Structure formats: structure tokens, C-alpha cells
Amino acid sequence: MKFCKYQGTGNDFLLTDRMEPEGTFDEAQIRSLCDRHFGVGADGFIAAVPSACADVRMAFFNSDGSRASMCGNGIRCFAKFVRDHGIVDGDIFTVETDDGIKHITVIKSAARVSEIRVDMGVPDSFRKAESEDFGTIWSTHLGVPHAVLFSSGKEDKDGSMEELDQKAWQSGEKIEHAPLFQPEGTNVNFVSVKSDSHILCSTWERGAGKTLACGTGACSAAAAARLCAGCGDEIRVTMPGGEVTVSFADDGTVFMQGPAVLICTGETEE
């Protein structure tokens, strides 16, 4: 199987062209390909497949082989992949996902690094829950389910990335599998608000574990910071793997802009 490996703010993916189907994927195969010791290694696997309602369809799988409806960093990498390989024409196109059709704009295109803007849609209304073990949890759905926890109250200015990462390692898996979020489970974002236009975010991803970044997580964290901490309509989200910019339209639509980077190309046996 021919593949390309891309990363978006440290979230890495294997991408392949299945516009002319050459077999199917199963969970064991994807787990093997994404294994960092015995496979190529990645946070997720993405295939470009034909769409009846958009320019192309994104089939996305977590590194554990489970299917996911949407991935923010993944769709930026997917957009660069299909643009670079001529699967789509032009810098504005549509991508069908399991979360509906997403509108893509290629802001800057280059051989290795491109800048991609994605219309992420409108998140579900936030729900507030109080947990004896974890404090206040804000939850929403933006392509996939997300929980947001602020580091110390809603307007903490002191929480560092190292502290957020530590909380993600300590509590992320427990919250993912907490009864409150079953049977789906949830992605978990630990957030510190630095100003009304800048937040830090560390994410534990459902199906992948602790990652360097999460696009839908960045958008959910920014939406929560806008709602709960008085942040503005354009928010810079810093994650361990890099930054994206999240902005909001008057109707609540979320736009995410950030890099997509080609790491390498290769071929592996099926």
C-alpha cells in the first residue's frame, strides 16, 4: 500500500488514495500500521474515497482501528493530501465526513507545508456537569464528543502547558471512560486561559490517548473559553505540538486555520 505521512501541529496521520478501491481495512490492519514500534506509526489513518455529495470523502480511523466521524487536524492533512495529489482541483473544495460536509480553503500551498482553513460547523450547546473527582466539566459535540476542564476556575492565567499535560496523563483516560460519557466515551481537553485571545490546551484523545494536538479539541476548548471566560471571536490555541487559530462567525460557526505538513511518502505490504 502506498501512503503519505502528514502532521498537523504534531498530530500525525497516514493517508492513502482509495478513489479506486483496492480492498478494505480492518481494525487489526490499522492498529498494525499505526503502531510506532512495529508499524509506520501514527495517531490515525485516513483514506480518500469517492463521494456522491462532495468533491471527496474522508474515511478516518483512530490508531486503535476504531472509526471516528471527524478529526480537525486530520482534515487539514487530508485537504493537503488530496490537493497535492490532484484528487481535487482548486483551493476551495468540499469534503464529506461522517459528520457531514466540510468546506475547505487552502490559504497557502507549498510542497511541504500548507496553511488550511476549515469550516468546522456549529458545536452543540455546552452542558455543565460537576464531578466529585474532577470538578466542573463542560461538554459538547463538534464532530466528535469533547469535554473541557479549565485548569483552575474559568479564568486561570497561571496554568502552564506542563501542568495541563500532567493532568491529561493523570485524568484523561479516567474521564474518557467515566459513566457520564458512556457509551461513546469522550475526548478530554485541559485548558488554561492566558488572555481573551490566547489559550493553552492539552488533549487526551478517545481512541488514541495523549496526543500533541487535537483540532476538534482546540475548537471545543476555544468555544468553551468564549462562553465561560469571556474570550473573543478569534482565539489562538497553543497545544504541545503547535498552534491553530479558531474564529467564530455571528451564527456560532467555528473556523479553524492551521498548518498541514508532509513528513514522508512510502509503501508497505497490505
Tens of pLDDT, residue by residue, the chain (270 residues):
899 999 999 999 999 999 886 667 889 999 999 999 999 999 999 999 999 999 999 999 999 999 999 999 999 999 999 999 999 999 999 999 999 999 999 999 999 999 999 999 999 999 999 998 899 999 999 999 999 999 864 444 557 999 999 999 999 999 999 999 999 999 999 999 999 999 999 999 998 899 999 999 999 999 999 999 999 999 999 999 999 999 999 999 999 999 999 999 999 876
- Other C-beta atoms closer than 10 Å to the C-beta of 23 total 9
Q: Read off the CATH number of the domain in which 34 is found.
A: 3.10.310.10
How far is residue 55 CA from its own chain's centroid? 21
- Do residues 169 and 85 share a domain? no
Specify the amino acid at residue 183: P
- Do residues 205 and 168 share a domain? yes
Is 53 one of the catalytic residues?
no
Q: How many domains does the chain have?
A: 2
Catalytic residue among 71, 77, 219, 231: 71
- Do residues 97 and 166 share a domain? no
Instruction: Quote the pTM value.
Output: 0.90
Catalytic residue among 4, 77, 201, 214: 214
Domain extent, residue 151, equals 127-252
- Do residues 13 and 105 share a domain? yes
- Do residues 162 and 99 share a domain? no
Cα(40)–Cα(99) distance, integer angstroms = 27
- Do residues 109 and 153 share a domain? no
Q: If DSSP codes are grouped into helix, strand and coil, which group holds residue 34?
A: helix
- Do residues 69 and 169 share a domain? no
- Do residues 133 and 179 share a domain? yes
